[in-house]
Amino acid sequence: MTKTLLYLTFFFCSSFHLFGQDNIRFSADSDTAFWYTYKNSYVKDFKLGLIETDTSKSVFRFWSNGLTIKLTKSDNNYSGDVTRFVEQYPTKSKKKVFIKKTSLLPAAVDNAFKLIDSIKINDLPSDKNIKGWQQGFDGITYFIEYKIDNNYSFKNYWTPTSQDSLAEAKLLLYFISSLENLINLKNSSKIFQNEIPFDSWTYPGSSTSVLRIKPKTKKKYGG
């Protein structure tokens, strides 16, 4: 999610009265000044749901451009899904979107939670609290949000590949790569792209548009 949209104006309400969740407690290091409202606008537009209202004991959600990976755990019950979403480009009179949700196998979710716990990714501070973490207007911003019982945390990270040798950036990149491998994200991405009904589209949060390349038809020559 790029900061090209940074100048869009959002009005943030820090109270959870809007969601009926007065008992939710934000962690002290949650970044709620701008990106939390940005995230909630996507929740609404693409019908992603708030994990703040999820009744599972533990909920974890990772965000990238046009993608969320949600993992839930209650006792020994594991579930999860990958949701992908794109917008038609250029925008017509009425914005069209394409959304697809794919369920994850419980074993994959279990392994993902083991990864989260083993590298303690939930302990990684939001980027504004990491010394030396640079900011910019291009690139990609990742979100990590999780809820354990009524305790909720929301953090964001701008372009970890641009953070030189920061140990925190390396940890985040390792987590992203490992998570993608665990759920075979590359293969499902190809399937999703083939199902997009638009000739061109954008992944929300990205300033890049994608044009579908159509196969050339052979010319017929008269004999």
Name residue, tokens 């939710």: 24
Nearest-angstrom CA–CA distance, 35 and 10: 10
- Whether pTM exceeds 0.75: yes
Residue 54 falls within a domain, yes or no? yes
Q: Which amino acid is at 41?
A: S
Q: Which residue has the higher pLDDT, 215 or 156?
A: 156
What pLDDT band is residue 158 in, cutting at 50, 70 and 90? very high
C-beta of residue 98 within 8 angstroms of C-beta of residue 201: yes
> What is the identity of the amino acid at 30?
S
Q: Is residue 140 part of a domain?
A: yes
Q: What is the DSSP string of 186-199?
A: HHHHHHHHHH--SS
Q: Please tell me the predicted confidence (pLDDT) of residue 13.
A: 37
pLDDT tens for each residue of 79-104: 999 999 999 988 777 789 999 999 99
Helix, strand, coil shares of the chain as percentages rounded to 5? 30, 25, 40
219 lies in some domain: no
Quick check: is 84 in a domain? yes
Contact 97, 86 (CB under 8 A): yes
Residues 6+ away with beta carbon under 8 Å from 26: 32, 152, 153, 154
Q: Indicate whether 217 belongs to any domain.
A: no
For the ranges 7-16, 52-61, 107-116, 151-160, which has the lowest average pLDDT?
A: 7-16
Q: Around 186, how many Cα atoms within 13 Å sit in the side-chain half-sphere?
A: 5
Determine, yes or no, domain membership for 218.
no
Average pLDDT score over residue span 36-56? 92
Query: How many domains does the chain fold into?
Result: 1
Confidence at 6, pLDDT banded by 50, 70, 90: very low
Number of residues assigned to the chain: 223
Which residues constitute the domain of residue 177? 3-211
- pLDDT band (50, 70, 90) for residue 220: low
Buried/exposed 142-156: b ≥16 CB within 10 Å, e otherwise: bbbbbbeeeebbbbb
Residue 215 has a pLDDT of 57
pLDDT at 218: 54
Residue 222 in domain: no
CA angle 194/89/197 to nearest 5° reads 30
Supply the DSSP string of 29-46, one letter for each residue.
Answer: T---SSHHHHHHHHHHHT
Does 24 reside within a domain? yes
